[in-house]
Structure 1
């Protein structure tokens, strides 16, 4: 069984900046003309080969459930499992991923892989297909310059181990060891070992519950014994949709 997880629980602060309260929206549902021109609709189309698609929502959760019911084709609706994160405003992104993994591992057996993608991304179909087809654990990178105020940094150290760096306050980053390679993370991952994923998820709940989703992902990587089971995939087109201007750029790409 192949399961995917999309997290869309966040408050969309930057996306809704200076927008009147009654006009604020969950950014993965934003569109201007065609209700299918949303981040969530395009991402679900990319995940049509998965057996189950777990969507973790929080902010404006009823808007999310309504959109799924009204706009998503039935063939995809049948695969979707909606999970509500009641702590979207007081805990970080890690809790949403924790809930998604918990839903998968506690309710399904014989899971071959779990693919996790953050719900505010737009990725080209060709690159995404490579992630889907890979039979390994997958880490991704995008081709944007690395900047400490917004990038999630992935690097490989002298022991060939992979580590992440991120500053939740969007300040400076510091790398304290030699490295072989450094990337701007594509914020999309695939996990193949369900035993390690459960251990990493349990560790998050017991020790790191206020951390970002990197708390789970880094623990999973630390538990792996063979880094040859990891494939690094570069993404040709990648936009992290933080603002309305980002959405316009994504929309222009869809038109092309």
Structure 2
């Protein structure tokens, strides 16, 4: 069984900046011209291959549920399992991933892989299909410049281990060990070992529950002993939709 997890629980603060309260929206549901022009609709089309799709919501959860019921085609809707994160406003992104992974591991058997993608991304189909097609654990990167105030840094050290750097306060970053390569993370991952993922997920809940989703992800890839079982894939078109200006760039790309 192949499972995909999307997390869309966040409050969309930058996306809704200076917007009146009654006009604020969950950014993955924002659209212009056509209700199919949303981040969530486009991502679900890419995930049609999966046997189950777990969507973890929180902020404006009822709007998310209504949109799925009204606008998502039946062949996709029947695969979707919605999970509510009741800590979307007081815990970080890690708790959403924790809930998604727990839902998958607790309810489904014979899982061959779990793909996780953050719900505010737009990725080209060709690159995304490379992630889907890989038979390994997958790390991804994009080709944007690395700025400490917005990038999640992925680097490979001299022991061929992969590590992440991120400043949640959007300040400076410091890399304190020798490295072979540095990448701008593509915020999309594939996990092939359910046992290791459970260890990483349980460790998150017990020890680092206030961390971002990188707490689970880093622990998992630390546990993968054979680094040949990890593939790193570049994403040619990648936009992290933080603002309405970002959405407009994405929409222009869709129209091309």
TM-score range, shorter chain: over 0.9
Query: Could you tell me how far apart the structure 2 residues matched to 1:210 and 1:231 are?
Result: 28
- Count of aligned residue pairs for this structure pair: 256
Q: Specify the alignment match of 2:175 in structure 1.
A: 175
Deviations 1:25-64 (A, max 9, x none): 0000000210000000000000000000000000000000
* DSSP 3-state at the match of 2:31: coil
* DSSP 3-state at the match of 1:242: coil
Query: Could you tell me how far apart the structure 2 residues matched to 1:108 and 1:20 are?
Result: 42
Query: Could you tell me how far apart the structure 2 residues matched to 1:193 and 1:177 are?
Result: 28
Runs (4+) of structure 1 moved beyond 2 Å?
A: none
Shift of 1:204: 0.1
Deviations 1:194-227 (A, max 9, x none): 0000000000000000000000000001111111
Deviations 1:138-190 (A, max 9, x none): 00000000010000000000000000000000000000000000000000000
Query: Could you tell me how far apart the structure 2 residues matched to 1:225 and 1:60 are?
Result: 40
Q: Specify the alignment match of 2:220 in structure 1.
A: 220
Q: Specify the alignment match of 1:44 in structure 2.
A: 44
Where in structure 2 are the equivalents of 1:1-256 lying within 5 Å?
1-256=1-256
Query: Could you tell me how far apart the structure 1 residues matched to 2:114 and 2:223 are?
Result: 16
Query: Could you tell me how far apart the structure 2 residues matched to 1:224 and 1:143 are?
Result: 26
* DSSP 3-state at the match of 1:103: helix
Query: Could you tell me how far apart the structure 2 residues matched to 1:90 and 1:185 are?
Result: 25
* DSSP 3-state at the match of 1:231: strand
Shift of 1:137: 0.3
Query: Could you tell me how far apart the structure 1 residues matched to 2:71 and 2:149 are?
Result: 35
Query: Could you tell me how far apart the structure 2 residues matched to 1:234 and 1:129 are?
Result: 11
Structure 1 gap ranges (5+)? none
* DSSP 3-state at the match of 1:14: coil
* TM-score w.r.t. length of structure 2: 1.00
* DSSP 3-state at the match of 1:116: strand
Deviations 1:88-129 (A, max 9, x none): 000000000000000000000110000000000000000000
Query: Could you tell me how far apart the structure 1 residues matched to 2:161 and 2:65 are?
Result: 40
* DSSP 3-state at the match of 1:47: helix
